Amino acid sequence: MSLLLRGGLLVTQDPARRVVPGDVLVEEGRIAAVGHVEATADETLDCSGCAVLPGFINTHHHVANTLLRGVADDVPLEEMLEKAFAIDAKLTRRDVQVGALLGCIEMIRSGTTSFHDLFYWEDEVARAVRESGMRGFLSWVTLDAAFTTQRGDPVKNAEQFVGKHRGDPRVVPSVGVQGVYVASEETYAAAADVATRLGVRLHTHLSETRPEVYRHLEKTGLRPVEWLEKIGFLSERLTAAHGVWLTLREVRTLARHGVSVAHCPVSNMKLASGGVAPVPEMLQEGVVVSLGTDSPISNNGMDMFSDMKVAALLHKATRWDARVVPAQAALDMATIRAAEALGVARDLGSIEVGKRADLAVVSFRGAHTTPFYPANLISHLVYSCRGSDVRTTIVDGQVLMAEGVLRTVDEAEIVGRAQETARELFEA
């Protein structure tokens, strides 16, 4: 099966960050040619007046929580978690799959082609990934038995999940740890052992709030990063979400161990954790920083355009420096840096020959994106565009949505199921 994207402005995100007019030829799921293409294909998409860019990679998510959207707005993290856990305890496998499918639709509609999830019952999220056609990097969450609602041992559940899904073309399994506030040294060690033995990645929350950091310091005498280094958990396998309450010394520790950070600015701002992640320092010290929306409870949407804009503006405002986190850096966090963070930059994150064809076509025909030309295209993507500007989303050369119409799932049916499921949860 071949596909030709004809006549767009190509935001390659290659090492030179070239923006060039041209075409993209896709053959057997991979990019076969970039630039002026003479060949024909089984399907041709007209991309005139549009930008063609690598599909976004959301590096921290809890996608099934779409069902909890709006149930805990305008409250601090602790109160939000209380409400979330109360509903979470009632979720069934069917609920998780429906919530994940709803989230996949929202992501496809806004140009996200891959997401990095942290949850339990990731088998059901995997089903949603396959049904929708997305690419899922799915981490089964582990934590101490005293805090879990999972059936059975969380670490064993994670190991079984990884063993079942390893080698799947669309589902990349890994092991998660909830965080230092509910996971002991034994749980962290067991999770790391599974990841090492099975050759998969790790995913955890880290230093999201001030209370998390200072309670751990009081308990152990060490800040979370210091403690995780001491117990041998930090490595290139690890993606740490948030990283808000970090010292410069801790930033350098993460860089030294090759830990990547998923920056979640909208979620952190909404929960008013009171701090701003030291992203400029992370970038300066060589930490790979990517972008995550986090849960639909703490970030009601999954529009990576919105999160790119906030990521750029937040740091400019708090540092009093308009040059901090420029548009290109924000776009990098959502594409090539995200691929690097997940260890898949050889296949994803840029439009280059040989890479997987995970692409988004973004219309620049709207009043809010006019005028456009190569020189202002990156700025427009970060500061002007919206998820609704996405016309086409492609994963592995498969068109999941074309001209705003989903091809893989029945959107109306899933929206209806999700609404009914939420009604059952909240009225029970």
CATH number at residue 198: 3.20.20.140
CA angle 424, 427, 428 (to 5 degrees): 75
| Domain assignment of residue 419, yes or no | no
Question: Domain check: are 278 and 313 in the same one?
Answer: yes
Same domain? 26 vs 72: no
Element (H, E) at 381: helix 377-383
Q: Are 183 and 192 in contact (CB under 8 A)?
A: no
The first and second tokens of residue 202, run together, are 């790790």
Same-domain status, 41 and 77 = no
The total of structural domains in the chain comes to 2
The verdict on 37 and 74 lying in the same domain is: no
| Any domain includes 428 | no
Q: What's the CATH number where 10 sits?
A: 2.30.40.10
Q: Both 11 and 137 in a single domain?
A: no
Indicate whether 416 belongs to any domain. no
User: Is residue 420 a part of any domain in this protein?
Assistant: no
**Residue 238: inside a domain, yes or no?**
yes
| Pair (244, 267) in one structural domain | yes
Residue 89 has pLDDT above 80, yes or no: no
Residue 314 and residue 276 in contact, taking contact as beta carbons nearer than 8 Å: yes
pTM of the model: 0.97
Residue 417 is assigned to a structural domain of this protein: no
Q: Are residues 250 and 367 in the same domain?
A: no
Asked if residue 117 and residue 48 are part of one domain, the reply reads: no
Residue 90 has pLDDT above 90, yes or no: no
CA torsion 81-83-85-86 (nearest 10°) is: 160
CA triple 276-278-283, angle to 5 deg: 140
- Print the domain residue range for 376: 2-54+347-406
Interval 291-347: pLDDT, tens: 999 999 999 999 999 999 999 999 999 999 999 999 999 999 999 999 999 999 999
414 within a domain of the structure (yes/no):
no
Q: Are residues 183 and 91 in the same domain?
A: yes
Of 44, 53, 34, the residue nearest 5 (C-alpha): 44
- Does one domain contain both 303 and 160? yes
pLDDT digits (tens, 9 = 90+) for 187-223: 999 999 999 999 999 999 999 999 999 999 999 999 9
Position 428 pLDDT exceeds 70? no
